[in-house]
Structure 1
Amino acid sequence: MTAKAVENAKVTNGKITQRFLDGKGLYLTVRKSGAKTWQLRFIKPDGRESNLGLGRYPEVSLLDARKKAAELRKLKAQGKDLAVEQKKQKLEVKRQACNTVKKIAEMWLETASSRVVKKTAEGYRQKLNLHILPKIGDVPIHDVRAAMWIDAMRPLENKGKLETVIRTTALFRRIMNFAVNNDYITHNPIGSMRDVFKSPTRANFACIDISELPDLLTMVVQSTMRPANKLLFEFQLHTLTRSRESTGARWEEFSFDEQIWYLPAERAKNKLMHKIPLTAEVISILKAAKSLCRGSEYVFPSRTSLKKHVHSETLNAAFKRLGLGGKMTSHGTRSLGSTTLYERTDFESVVIEALLSHTDRDGIRDAYNRNKFFQKRKRALEWWSLHIVGLTHGLTSYSTIEL
């Protein structure tokens, strides 16, 4: 057939449909209404004849139909079932068409939300709804380009919301990695973009210098701070845990036979159960705390109710009363431990990061619960505990409490 013949093809002799052969099994089917479609006639593996629709004319031209037919005949020569192959192609086209940034982001959010606390998941959704979906939510995931993302973030950058730009970019990078890992796209076009946007001036958690730690320890021990709060400070310092993790500690979480604190996944920031070694010093702190907890299920109960744990901001308030507001925070205990271990020991970074439960770092999640790393973490924490006690020559709060 020629392109002109295809254009002029009509049903004759009062027929409802009429077929015009192009060759090698390719037909143009014309209906009485004037509608025209391309079909390829072929033999199935079981010997039966069958037809495959190749699209409507004029959307699919004669040349396009011949190309499609040639591709299918090539597949048939390879022993493949053309009907099955066409269904797979249609499913893939449909799959790609519906895989917008919005749909992929929603799938990622459903998975990610199961691994973090509710507040963090809400933060993810808020960033999606405010900064991502309104800009590129309808874009097919395979069409996303770095330049497209940069354009979406420029208005935020121009408003000076640099921290939001950094955090939202990191979030979107995770979504695109999810798309790669689930075979929706072949690579992630969103890199670090460290040199693309202006860098925010970061304000770290207030923390004293390492050289001031002996004075801080002595100040706490000799202060009029509540004994339970002194123990909380030392407990958090020795275990290098987060404020919410330490203040919410329950007695049932501790195995004194194994000398392990099993911090439950639901209370850990990263939603992973954390096995924390109990050093001799931490056990002494816990024994002292037991004598003060008045039978509460919590290691550090609230002053007003034994059914509640002490507030997560308790230490920060205590530091302010000691005149350390702006100089030291509860989170600063982790910074002191991290800096000291990195600067004064030869422990591997993977061990130190696992101590701090930084499972978002490369290699840490895999090492998190392995027994060999537990033993290394135990040795590192034992070094840290002995180092703390050595700074005050054995002067501690728990040694002053009568058991």
Structure 2
Amino acid sequence: MFFISDDSKKKRYTDKAISLLTPNTKRYQITVDNGLSLRVLPSGIKSWVVRIPHKGSISDISIGHWPDINRREAAQKARQLRRQYDLVPPRGYTFNDAYALWKSLKKGEIVSYRSERLRLEKYVLPKLRLKQIDQITAPMIINLLKPIELTGKRATMKRCLMRTKEIFDLAVCAGYVHHNPINGLSRLFKPPKKKPRPSIPWQSLPEVLSVMEEKAPKRIKHIFLLSLYSMLRPGEVAKLRWDWIENNTLTIPAEEMKMRRVHRVPLTAFATDLLREIKSDTKHKRSVFIFPGQKSYNHVNSQTLTNYMRSQDFFKDRLVPHGLRSIARSWLADQGISYEIAESCLAHVVGDSVSRAYQRSDFLEARKEVMEQWSSFIRACAQSSQENDENPDLSANPTD
């Protein structure tokens, strides 16, 4: 014989509470959830039991021992078992549980973690957060994502679907659910239209520098010039620190780069002069960041240059900060710089995993010469733009 605690229906049993349960001279049983009980034997063994009423009789089915199976895992197993008999199941894992698992694994591992998290919390979590994960179906996800696609945000829809699929894949691995219900769902949606970011031919750089010199605030001009010279991505430029500079080389740690690889930028006299000017003009002299934000302990927003260029009619639909990398890459190609060195200048990964396992050089010495040529070209463009400003009829070609 065994007894059911009078308080079992009132008390919420957590794993901590279960660990405090002590054995009696007789076995006893507590109700943990709808249809799920924990049987405590005189020996101290604690067994999970699922109560199944079927064909006029009641069966207690053992599903394992605590703590081998914790309370949440037991609830999920009981949920799956009772659903087989069309019985009201206890509450198991929700989508939010799987999302929490995704966050714990992805934070710090993917560069776009913050934007991916915010996107999920805006478009996916409001509808799915509290739903039992084994009740979420493919039609439910389709109905959730279709309105996003209809607004023309195909790239957003694609990212939401990709990350939601990842969340379900992790839920399957963790035993929250038996299968991923949205495998293959991407075939039902139109792929996003890929549109290159606006850029201009490198031959038009003098005109761009002329506009920046005439209209841009000095801080914006500095961010623009260092972005142009370094060929770094906007987010990477924003985080640059003074202590990363040593022996005329800017070394960016792997965790701050998109491809999670250390990247070194050779600093020419042009770059050194620019950095010296940036240092003298900053209002936060002691900040560790080359471009501090409003507070010295923060770096500038990565969208600062983007927002400025969007506000200027000259740049609209013609050039964005990321397009500076395109200008540099096109110039490198037209100067006959080898593919591997040119790609290394932009911190791109070259070759497959096998070739990268053998070829581990970042071509720093070769890139020093390339960056000298690139610096000379930027200086020539700046001088050409100044000459054109002084004499509009003079057409100087910076490549002559």
Report the TM-score, using the length of structure 2 for normalisation.
0.56
The answer on 1:389 being equivalent to 2:359 is no
Q: Which residue does the alignment assign to 1:261? A: 251
How far, CA to CA, are the matches of 1:87 and 1:248 in structure 2? 46
How far, CA to CA, are the matches of 2:363 and 2:216 in structure 1? 31
CA gap of 1:160–1:258, structure 2 versus 1, over 3 A, is: closer
Are the counterparts in 2 of residues 207 and 327 from structure 1 also a CA contact under 8 Å?
yes
How far, CA to CA, are the matches of 1:314 and 1:170 in structure 2? 30
**Once superposed, what is the RMSD of the aligned Cα atoms?**
5.6
Are the counterparts in 1 of residues 48 and 64 from structure 2 also a CA contact under 8 Å?
no
Are the counterparts in 2 of residues 220 and 230 from structure 1 also a CA contact under 8 Å?
no
The answer on 1:99 being equivalent to 2:93 is yes
How far, CA to CA, are the matches of 1:372 and 1:279 in structure 2? 24
Q: Cα offset for 1:178?
A: 3.1
The Cα offsets for residues 282-317 of structure 1, whole Å up to 9 and x where unpaired, read as 345324434544782353568x99898777535763
Query: Which of 168, 192, 196 matches 2:160?
Result: 168
Match for 1:173: what amino acid? K
How far, CA to CA, are the matches of 2:291 and 2:51 in structure 1? 74
- SS class of match (1:276): strand
Q: Which residue does the alignment assign to 1:140? A: 133
Are the counterparts in 2 of residues 127 and 168 from structure 1 also a CA contact under 8 Å?
yes
How far, CA to CA, are the matches of 2:281 and 2:65 in structure 1? 72
**Structure 2: gaps of 5 or more residues:** 3-42, 80-91, 387-400
CA gap of 1:335–1:195, structure 2 versus 1, over 3 A, is: farther
How far, CA to CA, are the matches of 2:93 and 2:195 in structure 1? 39
Q: Cα offset for 1:189?
A: 5.2
The Cα offsets for residues 22-70 of structure 1, whole Å up to 9 and x where unpaired, read as xxxxxxxxxxxxxxxxxxxxxxxxxx9x9999865743889x99xx8xx
Q: Cα offset for 1:172?
A: 0.9
The answer on 1:233 being equivalent to 2:224 is yes
The answer on 1:149 being equivalent to 2:141 is yes
How far, CA to CA, are the matches of 2:212 and 2:121 in structure 1? 47
CA gap of 1:323–1:221, structure 2 versus 1, over 3 A, is: closer
Query: Which of 285, 308, 315 matches 1:296?
Result: 285
Are the counterparts in 1 of residues 292 and 300 from structure 2 also a CA contact under 8 Å?
yes
Match for 2:265: what amino acid? P
Match for 2:362: what amino acid? K
Q: Which residue does the alignment assign to 1:41? A: none
How far, CA to CA, are the matches of 2:150 and 2:215 in structure 1? 49
Q: How many residues align?
A: 322
Q: Cα offset for 1:109?
A: 2.9
The answer on 1:108 being equivalent to 2:105 is no
Are the counterparts in 2 of residues 221 and 395 from structure 1 also a CA contact under 8 Å?
no
Q: Which residue does the alignment assign to 1:34? A: none
Q: Identity over aligned residues, as a percent? A: 16
Bigger mean CA offset, 187-196 vs 146-155 = 187-196
CA gap of 1:292–1:89, structure 2 versus 1, over 3 A, is: closer
How far, CA to CA, are the matches of 1:178 and 1:153 in structure 2? 20
Give 1:164-203 correspondences, 5 Å limit.
Answer: 164-180=156-172, 182=174, 184=176, 188=180, 190-191=182-183, 193-201=185-193
Structure 1 or 2, whichever has the larger Rg, is 1
How far, CA to CA, are the matches of 1:129 and 1:85 in structure 2? 38
How far, CA to CA, are the matches of 1:51 and 1:113 in structure 2? 36
Q: Which residue does the alignment assign to 1:313? A: 304
The Cα offsets for residues 221-259 of structure 1, whole Å up to 9 and x where unpaired, read as 9757566654432311222333354345442x3332372
CA gap of 1:202–1:228, structure 2 versus 1, over 3 A, is: same
Are the counterparts in 2 of residues 347 and 380 from structure 1 also a CA contact under 8 Å?
no
Give 1:355-370 correspondences, 5 Å limit.
Answer: 355=347
Match for 1:296: what amino acid? K
Are the counterparts in 1 of residues 95 and 128 from structure 2 also a CA contact under 8 Å?
no
The Cα offsets for residues 191-243 of structure 1, whole Å up to 9 and x where unpaired, read as 57554213445565432134534x35764697575666544323112223333
CA gap of 1:159–1:224, structure 2 versus 1, over 3 A, is: closer
- SS class of match (2:54): coil
Are the counterparts in 1 of residues 202 and 331 from structure 2 also a CA contact under 8 Å?
yes
How far, CA to CA, are the matches of 1:371 and 1:293 in structure 2? 43
Q: Cα offset for 1:328?
A: 1.6
How far, CA to CA, are the matches of 1:188 and 1:382 in structure 2? 50
Q: Cα offset for 1:185?
A: 5.5
Give 1:3-402 correspondences, 5 Å limit.
Answer: 58-59=53-54, 93-96=74-77, 97=79, 98-113=92-107, 121=114, 124-125=117-118, 127-128=120-121, 130-135=123-128, 137-141=130-134, 146-180=138-172, 182=174, 184=176, 188=180, 190-191=182-183, 193-201=185-193, 204-213=196-205, 215-216=206-207, 219=210, 229-247=220-238, 249-251=240-242, 253-257=243-247, 259-262=249-252, 268=256, 275-280=263-268, 282-293=271-282, 296-297=285-286, 298-300=289-291, 312-314=303-305, 317=308, 323-337=314-328, 345-347=338-340, 355=347, 373=360, 375-376=361-362, 378=364, 382=368, 385-386=371-372, 388-389=374-375, 391=377
Q: Cα offset for 1:390?
A: 5.5
The Cα offsets for residues 147-198 of structure 1, whole Å up to 9 and x where unpaired, read as 5432432343345443432231122123234335545567655457554213
CA gap of 1:348–1:196, structure 2 versus 1, over 3 A, is: farther
How far, CA to CA, are the matches of 2:48 and 2:313 in structure 1? 81
Match for 2:285: what amino acid? S
Are the counterparts in 2 of residues 145 and 189 from structure 1 also a CA contact under 8 Å?
yes
Are the counterparts in 2 of residues 247 and 310 from structure 1 also a CA contact under 8 Å?
yes
Bigger mean CA offset, 195-204 vs 325-334 = 195-204
Match for 2:274: what amino acid? I
- SS class of match (2:198): coil
